Structure 1
Amino acid sequence: MDLSCFKAYDLRGRVPDQLNPILAEKIGRAYVEITGAKKVIVGYDIRLSSPDIAEALSSGLMAAGADVFDIGLCGTEQVYFATSHYKMDGGIMVTASHNPKDHNGMKMVGPESRPISSDNGLNEIRDRVLEPFGDAPEQGRYEPLEVMSAYIDHLLGYVDAVSLTPMTIAVNAGNGGAGLVIDELEQHLPFEFVKVHHEPDGHFPNGVPNPILPENRAVTADAVIAEGAVMGIAWDGDYDRCFFFDENGRFIEGYYIVGLLADQFLRKTGGGKVIHDPRLTWNTLDLVEAAGGEAIESKTGHAFIKQRMRDEDAVYGGEMSAHHYFRDFAYCDSGMIPWLLVAERLCQSGQTLSSLIDARIEAYPASGEINRTIADPPKVIAAIEAKYSVGAKNVSHVDGVSIEFDDWRFNLRMSNTEPVVRLNVESRADIPLMEEKTAELLAEMDRLNKEG
């Protein structure tokens, strides 16, 4: 049996050769045997293969003795929400997020929506799938569960409804599931939504919903400009990530949104801890300190950030990859809470999104993440570190290597999933320096790679 769909954090693979209903049924059985779960939430995304895979998964869960609470077509964050809100033993979302349309996958959580990944059960589930199964003495039962209304109430709890004023917002669901939530929220908000690629459609007629690809951004930017919207928001297929465009249609790097949300959240809570990743940090550190909070660095990746948030009881966590985590959302990531907070900030401040962001870009210009395919990543990273750590103010190994000087810094790290090295560079209010150092590092990486 091909088990290549099991990855470090979740399951993802091509349908039907890497993931299919037969394997999904076994995964359901293995999940119950390994976790001991008795009550499990199951939800699925808009992909054409998702209902069949979710049904087979549910059959396996019930055959192993667990009760299945089916929340139907949804986003990943609704599985997180339902699992914690209804105090279930676990939850499984059938989704492949922004992978090609012939792929599917699963994201698994345990009690309190704690992530299940390769270091806490996912490998055991994978190994158990290979062994024979018998049915539990008592079959689990099946129950549909309506979670949308409780979820919408929860989302609205993050903003002060009285302070919201009418404005136009362009939204691009990418034919994923986000449009269904926008339609529900619309009834409670004074905003007018300009809806782009709004209808859920697993055929992905406008391409796979992945707004991080530059070629996928123009349609949202164009809608913002054409309709005079105050901002644009685009989501990936299972809408656990959201991406922002200002009123001029400019795509905003996720790094600056982390700082904006940290600031907005700390204003509400009157302080607290904020978790951030090590790739780009200075803007976040600056804003968190100014708002009376404490910034804490964590290794990149949702399992690491969520665990660190629990350990520190942090109010908010953000990654520049557009994942935003909230303590009151079971420390999980949401693609809906961030834009509600930004919209609230625009209403309260009377400022444009570009004016809120421009000052931060000027203070801490950044390269954005640049990927390079490298034959021997550890060797190249070690050589870069040896060269640049001379005279550096600080060298850190929280994730890859971060090297800091008085007026610029960079982070260089390996991908967890492919032979690429990821570079991020930022400076203090010096765009030419940031660009010069980025070019210099890329040239050095190319040279080292050619030398082999």
Structure 2
Amino acid sequence: MATPITCFKAYDIRGELNSQLTEEVAYRIGYAFAQELNAKTVVVGSDVRLTSTPLKLALSAGLIDAGATVTDIGMAGTEEIYFATKHLGVDGGIEVTASHNPINYNGMKLVKAGSVPISGDTGLNAIKEKAEALGDDYVSERLAHYTNGVTIDADAFFNSTAHVNEVKLSNTGKYAVKSCMSDYVSHMLSYVNLSNFTPLKVVVNAGNGAAGPALDAIEKEMKSQGVPIEFIKVHHDADGTFPNGIPNPLLPENRADTADAVKASGADFGIAWDGDFDRCFLFDADGEFIEGYYIVGLLAEAFIEKNTDSKIIYDPRVYWNTEDIVANAGGTPIKSKTGHAFIKERMRKEDAVYGGEMSAHHYFRDFAYCDSGMIPWLLIAELVCVKKQTLASMVKARIEAFPSSGEINSKLKDADAALERVTSKYKPQASVIDTTDGLGLEFGNWRFNLRKSNTEPVIRLNVESKGDIALMEEKTEALLTLIRDE
């Protein structure tokens, strides 16, 4: 009978430590990954969580036993794995990370050669089946060979920074540690013209996550080339205990430290990253948080200025601002279903230069169509310098032109019933019906998108209007009342 594994999700692996995700599960995943992809070379990395290194090493043991040679790039963000997988020309890459999930969770993000994503129907389900099929005795025996039987004790990790499980991989001949940082930094800086930069002061908040070392390396290279930029560093040093909370700037309660530092230092703008820094979040000079939706428009504009016939991919939750910017700049706007696998697939199909989601995921053709949390702020910084405008002034006009509610989640007893209530009332009046992702309805000068969560009884609402904040707020309130009327 197969050993059930419950940490596989639609696009990645996430689970609670000791119950859903253990070293044995990590070993199984590594073995199955190499088997399913017939992978002979795999690059691995891990975020700063105290449990990430031992999980990564158990994963590597499974990869090695299945015939793969492993290159470990050490503590790294997810995008460093994306970069290394393509740059090194290996058969696959795995980042051990739980990103912004609670401290008692961890997970993995997996890609094929060329950093092509692996999702449920493109290999993830098959990896799960192969992982479950491995015999329990075999897994225990092989893992003990590497670890002497020592396994993760979550309580020990949470109460002490000293407990690190030593997995003996160096004597296998199939495991090596290698840094790709220098090449990664060169690639990041290739997206901007450093001669365009004028003096800037920028607050950077790594949230005690993995972004700190990468930012330091970028800063060193920029200064060596005479770029007049000053970084004010907040919660910069990597610390797997996350003394300042889990890095998740999407939560309003996690934004104050960045906002306060921007105001106190008189910075031009601020940046905060999540735990594996595949997303970045921006603050203007007044410390105001900028919704990811409006950053999509700015980045689209930045690419079109460099190449006027650029194709831009965007998600269907809110899009009037993006469509307006892209069309007026001479680019081609293309709508895609929400989610990294769908965005990346559509970008490859269209050969689009950039794709953006309101959730602060930004994708780049020259970055293997993958998302990055470093490229966006570099492009925004260059745009601020070239346009000689503040970030606030660039965004303010767009917010006034297309005000948005932001994504509002409602946890319900019956999400299907709520969706039906909204559909029955609003669909007959709609001038445009869009089912690219969820229910999207337009009514002349306002529109909304309503989507069900795939994993919980939650409805996600986004409302926007054309230049009418009061209308947007009125329609948002009416929709929420109907959605929550159980």
Match of 1:338 among 376, 379, 383: 376
Bigger CA drift: 362-371 or 188-197?
Answer: 188-197
CA distance in structure 1 between the aligned counterparts of 2:56 and 2:112, rounded to whole angstroms: 17
Bigger CA drift: 364-373 or 20-29?
Answer: 20-29
**Post-superposition CA distance 1:134-158 (Å, at most 9, x none):** 799xx87112222000000000000
Match of 2:250 among 207, 212, 220: 212
CA distance in structure 2 between the aligned counterparts of 1:164 and 1:378, rounded to whole angstroms: 51
1:169 correspondence with 2:202:
yes
Q: Who is 1:141 aligned against?
A: 174
Report deviation, 1:181: 1.1
Tell me if structure 2 keeps the 8 A contact 1:62–1:140.
Answer: no
Q: Which runs of 5+ in 2 are unaligned?
A: 143-171, 223-227
Q: Who is 1:93 aligned against?
A: 95
Give the aligned residue type for 2:204.
Answer: V
**Post-superposition CA distance 1:302-355 (Å, at most 9, x none):** 011011110111000000000000000000000000000000011111100110
CA distance in structure 1 between the aligned counterparts of 2:208 and 2:57, rounded to whole angstroms: 22
Q: Who is 1:393 aligned against?
A: 431
CA distance in structure 2 between the aligned counterparts of 1:325 and 1:131, rounded to whole angstroms: 35
Q: Who is 2:66 aligned against?
A: 64
CA distance in structure 1 between the aligned counterparts of 2:331 and 2:454, rounded to whole angstroms: 31
CA distance in structure 1 between the aligned counterparts of 2:423 and 2:173, rounded to whole angstroms: 55
1:266 correspondence with 2:289:
no
Report deviation, 1:417: 2.1
1:302 correspondence with 2:340:
yes
CA distance in structure 1 between the aligned counterparts of 2:39 and 2:417, rounded to whole angstroms: 43
Bigger CA drift: 320-329 or 288-297?
Answer: 288-297
Match of 1:429 among 467, 470, 479: 467
Q: Who is 1:15 aligned against?
A: 17
Tell me if structure 1 keeps the 8 A contact 2:312–2:354.
Answer: yes
1:292 correspondence with 2:294:
no
CA distance in structure 1 between the aligned counterparts of 2:438 and 2:297, rounded to whole angstroms: 22
Match of 1:31 among 16, 33, 45: 33
Report deviation, 1:405: 1.3
Q: CA RMSD in A?
A: 1.4
CA distance in structure 1 between the aligned counterparts of 2:373 and 2:59, rounded to whole angstroms: 25
1:182 correspondence with 2:219:
no
Q: SS state of the match for residue 221, structure 1?
A: helix
Tell me if structure 1 keeps the 8 A contact 2:421–2:482.
Answer: no
Given the two structures, how large is their TM-score scaled by the length of structure 1? 0.97
Q: How many residues align?
A: 446
CA distance in structure 1 between the aligned counterparts of 2:73 and 2:214, rounded to whole angstroms: 14
Match of 2:448 among 401, 410, 427: 410
Report deviation, 1:3: 1.4
CA distance in structure 2 between the aligned counterparts of 1:342 and 1:284, rounded to whole angstroms: 16
1:313 correspondence with 2:351:
yes
Match of 1:128 among 127, 130, 136: 130
Match of 1:43 among 40, 45, 62: 45
Q: Who is 2:393 aligned against?
A: 355
CA distance in structure 1 between the aligned counterparts of 2:191 and 2:327, rounded to whole angstroms: 22
Bigger CA drift: 1-10 or 245-254?
Answer: 1-10
Report deviation, 1:416: 2.0
Tell me if structure 1 keeps the 8 A contact 2:28–2:134.
Answer: no
Tell me if structure 1 keeps the 8 A contact 2:312–2:333.
Answer: yes
Tell me if structure 1 keeps the 8 A contact 2:206–2:212.
Answer: yes
Report deviation, 1:270: 2.1
Give the aligned residue type for 2:457.
Answer: P
Q: Who is 1:366 aligned against?
A: 404
Q: Which runs of 5+ in 1 are unaligned?
A: none
Tell me if structure 2 keeps the 8 A contact 1:14–1:102.
Answer: yes
CA distance in structure 2 between the aligned counterparts of 1:235 and 1:314, rounded to whole angstroms: 25
Q: SS state of the match for residue 9, structure 2?
A: coil
CA distance in structure 2 between the aligned counterparts of 1:360 and 1:132, rounded to whole angstroms: 54
CA distance in structure 2 between the aligned counterparts of 1:230 and 1:416, rounded to whole angstroms: 39
Report deviation, 1:380: 1.8
Report deviation, 1:2: 5.0
Report deviation, 1:87: 1.5
Q: Who is 2:319 aligned against?
A: 281
Q: Who is 2:75 aligned against?
A: 73
Tell me if structure 1 keeps the 8 A contact 2:303–2:310.
Answer: no
Tell me if structure 1 keeps the 8 A contact 2:445–2:466.
Answer: yes
Q: Who is 1:441 aligned against?
A: 479
Tell me if structure 2 keeps the 8 A contact 1:168–1:194.
Answer: yes
Tell me if structure 1 keeps the 8 A contact 2:412–2:457.
Answer: yes
Give the aligned residue type for 2:74.
Answer: G
Report deviation, 1:392: 1.4
CA distance in structure 2 between the aligned counterparts of 1:84 and 1:132, rounded to whole angstroms: 29
Q: SS state of the match for residue 187, structure 1?
A: helix
Report deviation, 1:4: 1.5
Q: SS state of the match for residue 390, structure 1?
A: helix
